[in-house]
Amino acid sequence: MRTGVANLPLHGGKAPRWLFDRMVLLAREIVTTIVRDFGPDMVLTRLADPYWFQAFGCVLGFDWHSSGVTTTVYGAIKEGIKGLERDLGLFAAGGKGGRSRKTPSEIVSAGGSISVSPENLVYASRLSAKVDSAALQDGYQLYHHSFFFTKRGKWAVVQQGMNDSNRYARRYHWLGDGLGPKDGSGDFVSEPHSAVCCDSKGVALNLVAKEGGEARTTSTQISWERPETLIKDLKRLKTLNLPRRHHITVKDINPDRLFKTFLTTYERRPEDFERLLGMREWVQRRSGHLASFPSLSMA
């Protein structure tokens, strides 16, 4: 389940090296203690709590209420447990920017140390990013994706997006209990969130809301249409004058660039919205091929 959202002012720069080195040492001791006393699953539960994660950053010494908490705390944890993953039964993959695209390969590289197929974990990593970037359009572009998992296949996600207009970052927390690539389950695309914590809802298109079932079904059915028909309709829509807003509008769409995507969905005919959202992932799962991490952008 998606466990919460945190809104943070967007700050530049990075943590001083002397501070980060101390954060790494302290993060290692705290995580090791939690695993020893409660097991690795408890680490996932704590990291999936946006309030606990924020407080953890303060305990480690990074007490700025900024976007840097997410990337710095994750980096301290990943560096802190480096070399101890097998003993702890806890692993961390992903990171900021280009490092996020290495998430699948990092998960696969741990395959010899876990008791489940890494394929399911890669799928969970990709779909959680897809939901928070494409299915939930709230004006925040994902740029950081961190994936924590245990040797038994439990997982949690902490990822963050930025909004250049209001200079804020938004952090999304997931806990993987009860979620997975189950045929027809719709877990990832029907109310995967258990909580959303923010001061202002803002303008958002939430395709994973419970009441959005009809929209998901319609989107899937539209994907079955011939590309030529969809492109023709989109070009017709280009004549509309729409009010100014933060979320995507028709004027942002270039129909000609969408032809290839529409052709793929028309040929594959996804059965439901989850398969439509994760089209590339379903194709790769069937072929047994794990490609590099796709772009986190809506495109």
pLDDT tens digits, 67-122: 888 999 999 999 999 999 999 999 999 999 999 999 999 999 998 899 999 999 99
The pTM of the full predicted model, rounded to 2 decimals, is: 0.75
Locate 144 and state its tokens: 């950081």
- Is the pLDDT score of 299 beyond 60? no
Domain ranges of the chain: 2-206, 210-287
Kindly indicate the confidence band of residue 123, based on its pLDDT and cuts at 50, 70 and 90.
very high
Write out pLDDT tens, residues 207-241.
988 888 999 999 999 999 999 999 888 887 655 55
The angle subtended at Cα 225 by Cα 219 and Cα 229, nearest 5°, is 115
Write out pLDDT tens, residues 163-197.
888 888 888 999 988 775 544 344 788 877 655 55
148, 236 Cβ separation under 8 angstroms: no
Locate 167 and state its tokens: 């200079």
In this prediction, residues 35-64 reach a mean pLDDT of: 93
- Is the pLDDT score of 132 beyond 80? yes
- Is the pLDDT score of 297 beyond 50? no
Amino acid 298: pLDDT: 35
Return all residues near 200 (Cβ < 8 A) that are at least 6 apart.
7
Counting residues of the chain whose pLDDT is more than 70, the rounded percentage is 80
- Is the pLDDT score of 295 beyond 50? no
